Amino acid sequence: MDKSWMHSDRRSKAYEFGVEAFLNFAVENLLTTTHIRCPCVKCVNLKLFGVGIIRDHVYFNGIDQSYKNWTFHGEPREATTNASRNVEEDDGHSRYSFVSEEIDMDDNDFGDFGSDPYEFANVIGDGDQPVYPGDSLPEGNTIPTSMYEAKKCALGLSYEKMHACPNDCILYRKEYDDSTNCPTCGISRWKEGKDSILKEGVPAKVVWYFPPIPRFKRMFQSHETAKSLTWHAARKSIDGQMSHPADSPSWKLLDDKWPEFGNEPRNLRLALSSDGFNPHISLSSRYSCWPVILVTYNLPPWLCMKRKFMMLTLLIFGTKQPGNDIDVYLEPLIDDLKSLWVGIRGVYDAHNGEYFTLRAALMWTINDFPAYGNLSGCVVKGYKACPICGDDTPSHRLKNGHKICYIGHRKWLPINHPYRRQRAAFNGKLEYGIPPEPLTGEEVLHMVENGDRVCWKKKSIFFDLEYWKYLPVRHALDVMHIEKNVCDSIIGTLLEIPGKNKDGIAARLDLLNMGVKTDLQPEYGEIRTRLPPGPWNLSKAEKREVCNSFYGMKVPEGYSSNIKNLVSLQDSRLLGLKSHDCHTLMQQLPPVAIRSVLEKPARYAITRLCFFFNAICAKTVDVSKLDKLEEDVVVTLCLLEKYFPPSFFDIMVHLVVHLVREVRLCGPVYFRWMYLFERYMKVLKGYVQNRTRPEGCIAERYIAEEAVEFCTQHLSDVSTVGVPSSQKMGVSKPLSGCTNTEEVLPYIEQHMIHIRTAYPKFRKRTKWLQDKHYASRFKVNLRKTIMAYQKI
């Protein structure tokens, strides 16, 4: 056994590891957990205690360093071991080495720090070593002599800078590593100077790549994180309820099709997200930054989507968005994902204290709709804009509006539904169609490989992953952006907000061309054209009443932004709606605002849509209710078609019909929306301090934060970034936020008596006494107040 920890600082991690190893050794060899001898300085193996008390003694008093042979705890007089962790003393410096005869590994298995758990002991030894004995910085100190040496971190936290073609043709890697010109477009690899003289060594475009494999290994270096990564296998799931992606058919498909992958709960299930933002805020609208982020679904719901576990893998910078050429930049990440699918050997699990082969699979991507098309390779505009309906997308071109609308949701209704036979209320035709069947990944791959590019722009690079074509949902629809666009369309049409209003002369003429709602056609006059009021129109007084309803709403703290600040009473509009504002509006608020002003049919349809979004965003999904929910949303969309103009139905409104399908296959919505990624991009934007080199600021600060985060996992009582602190321990809220139990009520009565005595003039003013009671320190700190009254 390694006994070097006995001489370490009791505050160090090496001492903590050693104490636990000693106690485990004693329990295993003595075959008892009740009473064993305590080896602390005060007890010196003369007293018997339980394991918990001995642990406290060893920390508070220190272990007897003369106790070199643990004979009282199961070690033989002359102990010999074959595989151990050894410590060699060399001029007062501790050097940790690990010798194992049980695990056969390649040389590359320990290529970075994340592979070897004892490599961190070198860092621990450096941390325990004083700068200089007895003084601060005299001659002979061990402080690094330069910033360059200080930044040589032994933790293996780094990134790679890859040169790229400015036209997004290639990355200069592998066979193009030594090329000076792009083999596709011929442009130079290097940046041109002011006098058109090539500046050798200054690349024209650089991409920052953060390899994910070392970071996945380091996740298992932490005892707590390694334990949390198998949470999904240890939890008790409820039949018929989905509260985590582990309950979804997509997760179970990987388990069933590849049992060797599913039988190891430590194998990772990942999701990828990418979106663009402007790091200069409003200083340069042309500059674009596209981070590519990975999240791990093995973690419990309260951890897996938090900032700490969002893994930045790529930073793509340039004056334009990568668009369909984003596959070029994803090549190194796809290579690593291929390696993770095969398996990374020699990964140490700190929780179980063993090595294993780590594998990982990418389950889906999460993006807004334009990025959805860039990553999936499908068309997201035009007649076949729906990636799920494909060739059978229900689309219709509006002659006067010069737009394509997506109406025809009656085909999702039961075959005998009465709406199918109503002509005048819809598009003037009977509906006999059936809903389109979504294409499988194998069918999509066959189409793009055989040149059938009607609905597809390219073959996605994700098909290079062996398992990708078998996944039922490869790219997830983002509910956040769908909800925001639908909310903007509804609010903009009801309040006639310029730029968001779906009604107008062109919309009325399109109704006339379709032969429906002919009573709503424009009435042309000598001075102006009058539009007859439709079911969706409000008068000026009704608009003012709706805005006053929003203006006077008071919501709980943290529920949303201040609704009052979004309302303009002068012109009866809602301005500056953010994504989360639209989320709260679509969930509960519109039915309250329009209940007395809008006609019943249109009001009923909008209310049903709000209830749908409220139900689909639940944290726990009842599988038995999904069929009914899907039927309801189809009826809701048909009702909207009856009472709203065709121009209202853009592609985002149509995508609502597919949301229940993705919930059924992938689990709760909040694991697949962009809110958390958008907030993380705001964090990345905050890293920018040097406006001339924003990409370098983001890369360096991300690496620095990751290094600090990794070190905090090996320290006690240190909070981490990106995980909310728990408020379960102690009383952190006033009594008004909790229930008064019988134990507390006597103290409340005593305090009220004290107030009446101290303020005799206000004895009969009950309201004043209660306000004084809630404003006192009794409300702030219950424990101190109870102790004070006990003393009295």
pLDDT band at 124 (very low <50, low <70, confident <90, very high): low
Give the pLDDT of residue 666. Answer: 95
Mean pLDDT of 98-111: 40
When comparing pLDDT for 311 and 727, which is higher? 311
How is 108-174 classified by DSSP, letter by letter?
GGGSSGGG-GGGHHHHHHHHHS-SSTTSSS-TT--S-SSHHHHT--TT----EEEEB-TTS--BS-G
Classify residue 418 by burial, with Cβ atoms within 10 Å: 0-12, 13-18, 19+: exposed
Backbone angles phi, psi at 573, to 5 degrees: -140, 165
Candidates 128, 208, 195; CA nearest to 700 is 208
Higher pLDDT residue, 193 or 65? 65
CB 398 within 8 A of CB 647: yes
At position 232, the amino acid (one-letter code) is H
Alpha helix stretches (DSSP H) within 325-403: 326-342, 369-376
Supply the pLDDT for residue 41. Answer: 85
pLDDT at 106 over 50: no
pLDDT (tens digit per residue) in 61-75: 888 887 888 888 888
Q: Which residue has the tokens 């379960």?
A: 728
Average pLDDT, the chain: 82
Beta bridge partners of 291: 315
Give the Cα separation of 209 and 161 in Å (integer). Answer: 6
Residue 752, number of CB atoms within 10 A of its CB = 16
Please return the burial class of 285, using the count of CB atoms within 10 Å of its CB with bins 0-12, 13-18 and 19+: exposed
pLDDT at 245: 95
Which residues make Cβ contacts (< 8 Å) with residue 207, sequence separation at least 6? 161, 162, 163, 164, 171, 314, 315, 316, 317, 329
Residue 557 has what pLDDT? Answer: 79
DSSP single-letter state for residue 383: T
According to DSSP, residue 439 is labeled P
* Percentages of the chain per state (helix, strand, coil), in multiples of 5: 45, 15, 45
For the four alpha carbons of 441, 443, 448 and 454, in that order, the dihedral sign comes to negative
Per-residue pLDDT at 131: 53
Query: In terms of pLDDT, which residue wins out, 470 or 79?
Result: 470
Structure-model confidence comparison of residues 191 and 408, the more confident one = 408
Residue 365 or 730, more confident: 365
**Measured between alpha carbons, how far is 660 from 203 in angstroms, rounded to an integer?**
47
What pLDDT, on a 0 to 100 scale, did the predictor assign at position 283?
58
**In degrees, to the nearest 5, what angle opens at C-alpha 239 toward C-alphas 237 and 246?**
45
Give the whole-angstrom CA distance, residue 294 versus residue 266. Answer: 17
Cα of first residue to Cα of last residue in the chain, in angstroms, is: 56
Model confidence at 112, pLDDT cuts 50, 70, 90, reads very low
Q: What gap in Å lies between CA 546 and CA 572, rounded to an integer?
A: 8
Q: Identify the pLDDT of residue 140.
A: 58
Quick check: 362 and 270 in contact, CB under 8 A?
Answer: yes
C-alpha 77/C-alpha 503 separation (Å) is 91
| Residue 365 banded pLDDT, cuts 50, 70, 90 | very high
Q: Which alpha helices (H) appear in 476-577, and where do they start and end?
A: 479-494, 505-514, 540-551
Residue type, 388: I
- DSSP states of 705-757: HHHHHHHHTTSSS---TTSPPP--SS--S-GGGS---TTTHHHHHHHHHHHHH
Tell me if 394 sits within 8 A of 411, measured CB to CB. Answer: yes
DSSP designation for 396: E
Among residues of the chain, what percentage have pLDDT more than 90? 47
Does the structure show a pLDDT above 80 at 694?
yes
d(CA 298, CA 107): 29
Q: Listing from the earlier edge strand, what are the strands of the sheet with 206-209?
A: 160-163, 206-209, 311-318, 288-296, 268-274, 360-366, 475-476
CA distance 292 to 290: 7
Greater confidence (138 vs 599) lies with 599
**Residue 663 pLDDT grade (very low, low, confident, very high; cuts 50, 70, 90):** very high
**Which pLDDT belongs to residue 497?**
92
Q: Residue 548 — very low, low, confident or very high, per pLDDT cuts 50/70/90?
A: very high
Helix or strand holding residue 405 (H, E): strand 403-405
Among 480-489, 614-623, 773-782, the range scoring the smallest mean pLDDT is 773-782
Q: Is 730 exposed, middle or buried (0-12, 13-18, 19+ CB in 10 A)?
A: exposed
Cα dist from 691 to 49, 283, 291, whole Å: 62, 9, 17
Residue 144's pLDDT is: 63
Residue 221: band (very low, low, confident or very high) from pLDDT cuts 50, 70, 90: confident
The HSE-up count of residue 150 (CA atoms within 13 Å, CB side) is 7
The pLDDT tens digits for 753-787 are: 888 888 887 766 777 777 777 666 444 444 444 44
365: β partners: 272, 475
Let me know: does 544 contact 550? Beta carbons within 8 Å: no
Q: Domain segments of the chain: what residues?
A: 4-134, 165-203, 212-234+245-373+705-712, 379-476, 479-671, 735-791
User: Residue 690 above 90 pLDDT?
Assistant: no
d(CA 547, CA 597): 11
Task: Name residues whose C-beta falls within 8 Å of residue 547's C-beta, 6 or more positions apart in sequence.
Answer: 495, 567, 568, 569, 572, 573, 574
pLDDT tens digits along 695-725: 889 999 998 888 888 777 766 666 777 776 6
Token reading at 521: 């056609």
pLDDT attached to residue 475: 96
- Higher pLDDT: 759 or 363? It is 363
Mean pLDDT calculated for residue range 576-597: 88
